[in-house]
Amino acid sequence: MKISWNDFVEECNQCQACPLAATRKNVVIYRGSVVAPIMFVGEGPGATEDEQGLPFVGQAGRLLQLLLDAQGFAQKDFHIANVVKCRPPENRVPTDAEAATCKKLLGKQILICKPKIIVLLGKTAYTLFTGDKNAKMTQIRGAFIEKNGYLILPTFHPAYILRNNNERIKLWQDIAMVRRKAEELGLMEPLETPPEMPSQRPSSN
């Protein structure tokens, strides 16, 4: 049965399926466009996201947005979400049980969003999404995985880049790879001039 976006949002907001529901301030579902060719999936909300009810709006999210803007992504091009929609206490890693429960909602979200490309932000998101606990991000990033009709690209979480700014070029290269693939598939128009990686750091406010 086809589910509407409004019904999906209501289902998320009413969800009490795991213990994270008891400590959340807001269910964090998405930002960007409901239907988009590219979906970015992180691990779970942090404190700022829990406060605002939007994913990737803290300092790491602002870095991600900085890079997306520089690569010419418009809001219509992306849908940003997380594997789990409620903040784990103290920003701990979601348990396997929490992730398994919330992945059912993520599956519905993907069906509604209809992305062609899914970008997994960070090792934890990759592990929770794929179930592969042995892969190292340094080995798997930068190459597309084709699965169930989706092109999946693992890359570094922007929070890791904030702690290791010398690695920013790798996240930038991966986002550029997503951009090129989207252009190849006719999902985005080519840029008129080559983008340059922004050097500034997002504010901590």
State the pLDDT at residue 2: 79
Domain ranges of the chain: 27-184
CA angle 97, 60, 39 (to 5 degrees): 60
What type of residue is 22? A
The torsion angles phi and psi of 39, rounded to 5 degrees, stand at -120, 130
| One pLDDT digit (tens) per residue for the chain, 205 residues | 678 999 999 999 999 999 999 999 999 999 999 999 999 999 999 999 999 999 999 999 999 999 999 999 999 999 999 999 999 999 999 999 999 999 999 999 999 999 999 999 999 999 999 989 998 988 999 899 999 999 999 999 999 999 999 999 999 999 999 999 999 999 999 999 999 999 887 766 5
Question: CATH topology for 27-184?
Answer: Uracil-DNA Glycosylase, subunit E (3.40.470)
> CB of 1 within 8 A of CB of 39?
no
Encoding tokens for residue 162? 């904030």
Residue 13 makes CB contacts below 8 A (sequence gap 6+) with 27
Q: What share of the chain is helix, strand, coil (3-state, %, to 5)?
A: 45, 15, 40
State the pLDDT at residue 200: 82
Cα–Cα distances in Å, from 132 out to 137, 140, 183, 196? Answer: 11, 11, 29, 34
List the beta strands (DSSP E) in 18-60: 31-32, 38-42
CA distance 137 to 122: 7
State the pLDDT at residue 58: 95
CA distance 128 to 136: 14
CA distance 117 to 74: 15
Encoding tokens for residue 52? 């605002």
State the pLDDT at residue 201: 78
State the pLDDT at residue 116: 98
Judged by DSSP in three states, 121 sits in strand
Question: pTM of the entire structure?
Answer: 0.96
